[in-house]
Structure 1
Amino acid sequence: MDVVLAAILSGVLGLAIGIAGVLAYRLSERARQSEDLHSEHELPEGLSEVLAVLPSAAIVVDAGDDVVKASPTAYTFGLVRGHALASEKLLDLVGRVRQRGLIEELDFEHARGPASKSVRLLHARIAPVGPRYVLVLCDDHTEARRVEDIRRDFVANVSHELKTPIGAISLLAEAVSDASDDAEAVKRFGERMQRESRRLSSLVKEIIDLSRVQDDDTPDNRELIPIGSILHEAVDRSRFAAETKRIRLSLAESDEWYVSGNFELLVTAVRNLVENAINYSNADTHVGIGVRQEGEMVAIAVTDQGIGLSKEAAARVFERFYRVDPARSRQTGGTGLGLSIVKHIIANHGGEVRVWSQPDHGSTFTLVLPIGEAVHDDPAEDDQAENDPADDDPVDTPHDPTAEPIDH
């Protein structure tokens, strides 16, 4: 009986040892396979050096989908968290590339942060690197997409704006032909054709001007120009429009300040502001042009007593083809490009544009430009200018024309 019990115990013990051995072997095999997947071996020779000079966000993934190498840009884009890819789309594509051994490309959106609603538009190119690794390269196409959207909107807006006067001229020409025996009707239709023709000519000119100032980051023919000469010329070019509406233009003298830039472009910027103030003001009101110094900058303020802007309109007023009052713009022949041209001209001269406005209380547009240095023949005149500063704001308005700028 003891012999039988001993034999049974020996068999059970042997079976347990055998099972333990099998389990140990399987655990060892799994550990070995895991080590093969999550490789700690060196990357292929020269790969790290190549990745270091690439402008793209670069990520190297091993056979176990662990990130073994990633550039700082990849972390900036939020594509890597810890040792794993943070994008499920990239992870799925990496698996497909590993299986098929072919290069794949993908355009996808990825959040800028865990709690951010803003996204980046990324273009990924994924390729196998040897039998063990997969390389992921990502480029940020967000800005390119934004520029393309702006270009598309601009073309659509231009097409729409050109279609209106061209269509009107075509209809009026047909009406003139039909009314050839009616001299009064021919005269009336002819005047309307001239008005639409002027509108079309103004639109084409401003489109050309806008394209020119957008392409030229540094204006040609830079020179030191006294602020006074710019303001006088701009006011003279706007005087007829002001007299037509019985609007009084008030200009503060300011010959003591100089700016460096292109005379014609700066006159265009100021004139656009003055004419815009005239167009959006009622008859028998007042438009003032004043100047003040702000440290090393000079601020040119154009103030009107017109219809004013809401906060929402003020934030959009520099957009191309944006009109605060479309009906008034049609009456005045406005194209919606004038303030956009102003913004680009001043930006190209190293300055900025500010706007303050309240509905029914008027608006103040302020151009801020760097002061240029000029040699004065009589130092005593400089001292006199410091002791007798020019009137900063020629219009009596209840606001500060140097209010904080609105971002556009």
Structure 2
Amino acid sequence: MDSTWLVLLSLALGLVVGAGFVAILYVAARRGAHAADVASPAVPDGVDQVIDALESAAIVLDPSNNVIKASPGALSIGLVWNQALVHPHLVDLVGRVRRTGEPITEECELARGPFGEANIHLSVRVARLGSRYILLLAEDRTESFRLEQVRRDFVANISHELKTPIGAVGLLAEALDSASEDPEQVRRFAHRLTEESQRLARITQDIIELSRLQAADALTDAEIVSVKQVITSAVDQNRVAAEARGIELAMRGDKRAEVYGDEALLVTAVHNLVSNAIQYSPAGSRVGIGVRIVDGVVEIAVTDQGEGIPEDDLDRVFERFFRVDQARSRHTGGTGLGLAIVKHAVQNHGGDIRVWSQPGRGSTFTIRLPEASHDAAVRPAIGETT
């Protein structure tokens, strides 16, 4: 009997010890799994796919602020480098969210990339992602800020451009009244008054033309237009100004080229380029107007022998009211809208315009338009840029 109890007691003790050992193993396994989970760089299920699909910048950070997931947008604008956030300000935002648990939304301006000099404008939102991670979303607002700056500049410039001739007209009218008994002074003031009124008329006409072009998505009554006729008309309009300064206007190239569009609008575009070339060329020099067809694209190039355009200004020459040489442009009566009109006229014809220039070597502006096909079935869609 005693031996039976001993056996039973041994079995009971064995079961208790085994159960305890199993419990210890279970707890150890749970702790190991938790430790592995803490150390794992994996993000919650589904977040990977969402971030990969985002066009905007998205970044997931672990408790040590290591970047464990970044969208292509975040990499393209330089927010992440070497698996870390580049900008201390963004690190500070992440730290504040981690401490308070409250999401933050902020507009900020940062350098593009770790070594970038150009700035980008971002709309940033930082929030918790589960209990461990931080999610940072950033929308690049740089282009919106640039367009807003262009709009403000346009309003300021147009106010100034109109104010100058209007003020001059008022002053000259008063001067005429004061000089009514001096015929010579009257003639001089009247001549100035005519010049200012013509300048005001040019500005007004250019603004109206530019507004009309920007409001039109495409040309509704496109016709086959002879490029030779367009250039001939544009050159004829500028011949007197060229002869007055001894500038030769030389036309060359393919005389058979044709495009679809509005002849009057294309004449205006080429006229503006030739007029600019004459204004910024030295007396006695040469302005070339060439035409060629390359792979179904008609290129109209206007080349001058002027002072050229600084590299920093090349991207801005088609902006409204932008002038490379403010003083000279005002002296020649330019409105600062000519190249903007050219750009929009060409875009409305499904083309584009390019500029090459080097200081001291002159400039070349090239209009590129789809070549016209006489087969109506394959006519290009006017208004679509090639």
Q: TM-score, normalization: structure 1?
A: 0.68
RMSD: 3.9
**2:153 partner SS:** helix
Distance 1:307 1:143, change over 3 A: closer
Distance 1:63 1:365, change over 3 A: closer
- For the pair 1:148 / 2:148, whether they are aligned, the reply is yes
Distance 1:365 1:138, change over 3 A: closer
1:309 counterpart residue number: 308
Q: How many residues align?
A: 344
Decide whether the 8 Å contact of 2:81 with 2:114 is kept in 1. no
Distance 1:37 1:104, change over 3 A: farther
**2:106 partner SS:** strand
Shift, 1:364, TM fit: 5.0
Q: How does 1:67-216 map to 2 (within 5 A)?
A: 67-81=67-81, 84-214=84-214, 216=216
Decide whether the 8 Å contact of 1:351 with 1:370 is kept in 2. no
Greater alpha carbon shift after TM alignment, 203-212 vs 263-272 = 203-212
- For the pair 1:270 / 2:299, whether they are aligned, the reply is no
Q: Distance in 1 between matches of 2:115 and 2:325?
A: 39
Q: How does 1:286-305 map to 2 (within 5 A)?
A: 287-303=287-303
Shift, 1:267, TM fit: 0.9
String of CA shifts for 1:230-257, please: whole Å, max 9, x gaps: 1232233334544655766554585421
% of aligned pairs identical?
A: 48
**1:373 partner SS:** coil
Distance 1:374 1:257, change over 3 A: farther
Distance 1:107 1:172, change over 3 A: same
Decide whether the 8 Å contact of 1:59 with 1:136 is kept in 2. yes
Shift, 1:325, TM fit: 5.3
Decide whether the 8 Å contact of 1:314 with 1:357 is kept in 2. no
Q: Distance in 1 between matches of 2:209 and 2:108?
A: 37
Decide whether the 8 Å contact of 1:37 with 1:64 is kept in 2. no
Greater alpha carbon shift after TM alignment, 286-295 vs 101-110 = 286-295
Distance 1:36 1:158, change over 3 A: farther
Q: Please list every run of 5 or more consecutive structure 1 residues that lacks an aligned counterpart in the other structure.
A: 1-27, 376-408
Q: How does 1:290-369 map to 2 (within 5 A)?
A: 290-303=290-303, 307-309=306-308, 315=314, 317-318=317-318, 320-323=320-323, 326=326, 328-348=328-348, 349-355=350-356, 359=360, 364-369=364-369
Decide whether the 8 Å contact of 1:66 with 1:84 is kept in 2. yes
Decide whether the 8 Å contact of 1:38 with 1:66 is kept in 2. no
**1:369 partner SS:** strand
| Letter paired with 1:121 | H
| Letter paired with 1:353 | R
Decide whether the 8 Å contact of 1:224 with 1:259 is kept in 2. yes
Shift, 1:175, TM fit: 1.6
Shift, 1:105, TM fit: 1.9
Q: Please list every run of 5 or more consecutive structure 2 residues that lacks an aligned counterpart in the other structure.
A: 1-27, 376-386
| Letter paired with 2:89 | K
2:259 counterpart residue number: 259
Q: Distance in 2 between matches of 1:136 and 1:185?
A: 71
Decide whether the 8 Å contact of 1:38 with 1:62 is kept in 2. no
Distance 1:54 1:353, change over 3 A: closer
Q: Distance in 1 between matches of 2:82 and 2:308?
A: 50
Q: TM-score, normalization: structure 2?
A: 0.72
Distance 1:353 1:130, change over 3 A: closer
| Letter paired with 2:352 | G
Decide whether the 8 Å contact of 2:86 with 2:114 is kept in 1. no
Q: Distance in 1 between matches of 2:155 and 2:45?
A: 50
Distance 1:368 1:53, change over 3 A: closer
Decide whether the 8 Å contact of 1:228 with 1:253 is kept in 2. no
